Chain A
Amino acid sequence: MLPDLLIALTMLSNFSLVATSRVSKAIQFAVLQGVLLGLMPLAMGLGRHFHIVLLAFAAVAVKGWFIPFLFRRALKQVHIQREVDPYIGYTVSLMLCALGTGLSLLLAHNLPLKPGTEYALMVPASLATLFTGFLLLVSRRKALTQVVGYLVLENGIYLFGLLLVEDMPALVEAGILLDLFVGIFVMGIVINHIRVAFDSTDTRHLAELKD
């Protein structure tokens, strides 16, 4: 019951993410989503495995505390405007997100997965979150909102990984966290460098770098 609720909340936060027009709100939703997913393993009743508890704790700590901390610092440093400034309008984004969610429900139904998964919503939710992450990456202009996109993308991967959490060695899960950390770290540096080089964090300027 509880896992389904969390998954439903995750899917709802997807829609909020694409519909919001404020950078800080988008960050808050991404963080909320991360914390929700971080609690998932506990809600699934896997509290008896010590390493899974440790993983959940680490995920909540990184996504709920460390990443918002990095975001706040970046926001302060780059004096960003509050508008998200998308290529695609909010309504269209919302419709695309709905389309992606529907498509993932359809796909998850037909995917050749291991039978006997108890949470029917898990695969579609993870695919939907993946699509949302991509949508944010593709349609948003500012480097900071692109980092939000990466974050959401990773949330989707994390949710998919939870399917296998009992079989998968902790190494792989730790790998996901590390990956994310490095991603955020690198993007932080990149944002700063874009700002220094072009005096703005608009990724359109990156097109000047092409061959």
Chain B
Amino acid sequence: MSLYFLALLAAAVSGIPGLFLRRRGGEVAAGLLGLAAALGLGASLAVLSGGQVGSFALRTAALGAPGLLVFDPLAAFFAIPVLILSVCGAVYGLGYWEGRRGNTPLLRLVYGLLTAALLLLVAASHALTFLLAWEGMAIAAFVLVMAEDREAETRRAGWIYLAATHTGTLLLFAAFALLARVQGQAGFGALPAGLAASCVGTALFTLFLLGFGFKAGLFPLHLWLPPAHAAAPSHVSALMSGVLLKMGILGIARFLSWVPDPPPWWGGTLAAAGALSGILGVAFALGQHDLKRLLAYHSIENIGIILLGLGLGTLGKATGHPAMQALGYAGALLHVVNHSLFKGLLFLSAGSVLHATGTRDLERLGGLGRTMPWTSAAFLAGAWAICGLPPLNGFVSEWLIYLGAFRGLGLEPGLGWQGWPLVILVSLALIGALALACFAKAFGAVFLGLPRTETANHAPEAPRTMLLPMGLLALACLAIGVAPALFAPALGRAAGVLGGSPVGSPVGGEALTALAPLRMLTWAAAILGLLALLLGRWLRPAAPTPREGDLPTWDCGYAAADARMQYTASSLADGLVRGLRWVLRPVAHLPRVAGWFPRPARYESHVPDPALDRAAAPALQLVARGAGFLRVAQGGALPVYLLYVLLTLLALLVWMVA
């Protein structure tokens, strides 16, 4: 526990020296975060390898329950991505944020505070510490999203984020108040048996799912996510997508761990929400032109995959199938770490592209693979992992969920509705295929082909401070993908906490390696690698571009291929977007061709967000119009405002006396 506290302290103060130092403030902050990561990872590994679970309590009557923090296996497990991504982001920020306008020391300070709030949050075991850390996290993230507040788009994204996160927090306040009322105190702990099936249990589940869903980016509640991720600096986007969203998952996981007897429909609801988020998330990602927005929609998709796993595990827990429970929960938790690794990697490499070219627009990039080989390799590794292809880590977690769902097919006694495992399997497969299509489009449009603009033609490779964190994350992805058996005991313990055991002993005593042949994956990866090597040697690179004289006279123009003849990102995805237009509802601005000599014309298409652009924004505009009459009260004169205060005070006094 002392290691954990030292890590917390180091992270919290990491930005303070930078306020006073004239130079090298960023290096000091990154160093302190590195120290925090080393200490925190030490604490995490100790707990995850079966060490003692530390806790921190404060004995005052006002709190009700004394326990404020518990660093159990679940906390230790969630602390790992927090630490890794924050230090990678800090190092990356050194190169990325150099020479930018804006208050860099303040951003560093808030970045450290955000890391500290996240560390506090993972270990919170009391509603007070949880909500405190939750709000600290939300506000620190708001400051970071607003880093480039000179741009109107950023300001809009920041306000949407703030409104959404506070709506979620409001629901959480209600949920925790209800929980405290049921338990008689606000500390976290197992709920009494039978509560889950009652009305209170249903209310708790709904409130927690919606409240945490706002943060996690569950499909209709994701409205803040794409704009905020696109507007934030890339290392902040990496931290937000990789870790911040996961805190919503952490909340749901904590809640599930308190419930000894969840009804099967909870699992079904989680799985359905996961399927919705996953499929729609990737479908909307297909329609995006903005690289970071595309990645943000993929975060929604991956949250969906995690929820599918949680739903499967809960189904297993509800109906007494320990194998299904262990595989579902383990898959979900592993995907939490995996997603933060590969999505962090993707956001960092997208940031390198933005840094080098100044644009996130897929239609203005292209051919970057030649000038930015390392960045493109990093992006490819991330894309490979996110599509769930072996031998990288995304495959392992999705594979665990697949295995669990296959075990659930045709199980007796029933799961409430027999079809849930099938729904999970089909949606996972659909998500995987669409993700592959989407990343084929993204990688192809950015790194392959010919550069579409002059800046893309001369994009320089990122500096070393930016490449180093990307390399580290890519290696972590590979390590989990190649040798998953190494991480299985830790994963089993964390999943055991979800099963209801506070120290994380696996359910039914069965180790994860007995349920899933994880060791075989290492061999499979080796064989796969060998095959790829052989194939690479066998498939020679395509013939060099022929000289002009070798070609036939009319060759469809292929002799002089230029950037405008290649597939654009939109045209590559067009088939799928058209096929899905009944959900995506893309908006196209078609030029009208008239006359014998039509003028040059523009064609534009975009896919508006259904939750933000089609539902929330119009609804809120209506509210704003309806509330226009309240403007009279906003005179602008300070004395008038003070008069309101005086009148309120008087009214309260009179009310008290009367």
Contacts and interface: CB of A to CB of B under 8 A. Distances in A.
B639 A139 contact: yes
A120 interface: no
A77 interface: no
Given A87-B639, A137-B639, A210 B634 contact: yes
A88 to B, nearest CB: 10
Contact of B657 (A110, A139, A208): A110
A166 to B, nearest CB: 22
Interface stretch (A9-17, A27-35, A39-47, A199-207): A199-207
A130 B653 CA distance: 12
A64 B639 CA distance: 27
A127 B636 CA distance: 28
Chain B interface: which size bin? 10 to 19
Contacts of A210: 634-636
A138 B653 contact: no
B642 A207 contact: no
B638 A206 contact: yes
Given A110-B657, A134-B646, A138-B646, A203 B636 contact: no
Contact of A204 (B637, B656, B657): B637
Contacts of B638: 146, 203, 206
B267 to A, nearest CB: 48
A209 interface: yes
Interface string A176-209: 0000000000000000000000000001101111
B594 interface: no
A209 B636 contact: yes
Nearest to A137: B642
B634 A206 contact: no
A206 B639 CA distance: 10
A112 B636 CA distance: 37
B637 to A, nearest CB: 5
Given A134-B646, A137-B642, A138-B642, A208 B636 contact: yes
A211 B634 contact: yes
A111 interface: yes
Given A134-B645, A134-B646, A211-B634, A203 B657 contact: no
A58 interface: no
A141 B653 CA distance: 27
Interface in B616-657: 634-640, 642-643, 645-646, 649, 653-654, 656-657
A111 B656 contact: yes
A170 to B, nearest CB: 19
Nearest to A204: B637
A111 B639 contact: no
A102 B191 CA distance: 57
A207 B636 contact: yes
Interface string A140-151: 110000100000
Chain A interface: which size bin? 20 to 34
Contacts of A138: 639-640, 642-643, 646
A207 B637 contact: yes
A107 interface: yes
A21 to B, nearest CB: 18
Contacts of B646: 131, 134, 137-138
A191 B108 CA distance: 31
A111 B637 contact: no
Contacts of B654: 107
A161 B388 CA distance: 65
Nearest to A146: B638
A141 B642 CA distance: 12
A146 B634 CA distance: 20
Contacts of B640: 138
Interface in A94-118: 107, 110-112
Contacts of A127: 653
A140 B638 CA distance: 10
Contacts of B656: 111-112
For B636, B637, B642, the residue with the greatest tally of chain A CB atoms inside 10 Å of its CB is: B642
For A87, A138, A139, A209, the residue with the greatest tally of chain B CB atoms inside 10 Å of its CB is: A138
Contacts of A137: 639, 642, 646
B507 to A, nearest CB: 49
A107 B657 contact: yes
A112 B656 CA distance: 8
Contacts of A110: 657
A207 B635 contact: yes
A141 B639 CA distance: 8
Nearest to A127: B653
A138 B650 CA distance: 14
A111 B655 CA distance: 10
Interface string B133-158: 00000000000000000000000000
A10 to B, nearest CB: 19
A197 to B, nearest CB: 14
B640 to A, nearest CB: 8
A141 B637 CA distance: 10
Given A134-B642, A137-B642, A138-B642, A111 B636 contact: no
9 contacts: A107-B653, A107-B654, A111-B653, A134-B645, A138-B640, A138-B642, A203-B639, A208-B636, A210-B635
Interface of A: 87, 107, 110-112, 127, 130-131, 134, 137-141, 146, 203-204, 206-211
Interface of B: 634-640, 642-643, 645-646, 649, 653-654, 656-657
Given A130-B649, A140-B639, A141-B639, 16 more contacts: A107-B657, A110-B657, A111-B657, A127-B653, A134-B649, A137-B639, A138-B642, A138-B643, A146-B638, A203-B637, A204-B637, A207-B635, A207-B636, A209-B636, A210-B634, A210-B636
Which 4 residue pairs of A and B lie closest in terms of their CB atoms, listed nearest first? A210-B636, A207-B636, A134-B646, A110-B657
